[in-house]
Every structure is written in structure tokens, then in C-alpha cells.
Amino acid sequence: MPETNLTIWVTSAKTIAPCKLELTFNDGSVKTFDCTPLIERYKHFEPLRDKSVFENFALDGWTVTWLNGKIDIAPEYLFEEGIAA
């Protein structure tokens, strides 16, 4: 991905499958992000295995968060690792 000076953030999100989100970013791009690798690799993300926790996300003005902000993923990471929808 080419270097850009654009600050990126998530403007909307929806659950599309277990552990998968469809994300829209402030530049208009739409990407699918699979949280499974993070859940499997990092203990911090394990609560997201629970469907009710995963689906109960919020947007904080920058990114997607869970459990009242205890879990989040940097919007830049979501953007770079997401797959164009």
C-alpha cells in the first residue's frame, strides 16, 4: 500500500460472519476484517470468541471497540489488513 498522509478511521461497521466485520472508512473504502487470527494469537482478544461479546461492539469515533473500550484494534491496522469488499 502506498504511503499516505490521510488519517484513517472507521465510520461504520457491521458483523457479517462469526469474528468478521465489514468496515467502512472515512475515505469511503469498505473492507472485510477477520478477527480470528488476533483471537487465536493474543489472549487479550479471547473474549471476542463469544458471539454475544463480538457482536456487541461500539465505534468510539476512530475505531471499533468492545467491552467498554477494553478491547480495540487500531484503525490503521484494520485498514491495512482488511480485504476490499
Q: Where are the domains positioned within the chain?
A: 10-84
Beta carbons of 31 and 23 less than 8 angstroms apart? yes
- Computed over every residue of the chain, the mean pLDDT equals 95
For residues 27-40, give the mean pLDDT.
Answer: 97
The band of 4, judged by pLDDT with boundaries at 50, 70 and 90, is low
pLDDT for the residue 40: 97
* pLDDT beyond 90 at 57: yes
Q: Which of 78, 71, 81, 77 is nearest to 12 (CA)?
A: 78
For residues 21-29, give the mean pLDDT.
Answer: 97
- Of the listed ranges 2-6, 28-32, 73-77, the least confidently predicted one is 2-6
Torsion sign, CA atoms 84, 11, 16, 75: positive
CATH of domain 10-84: 3.30.2020.10
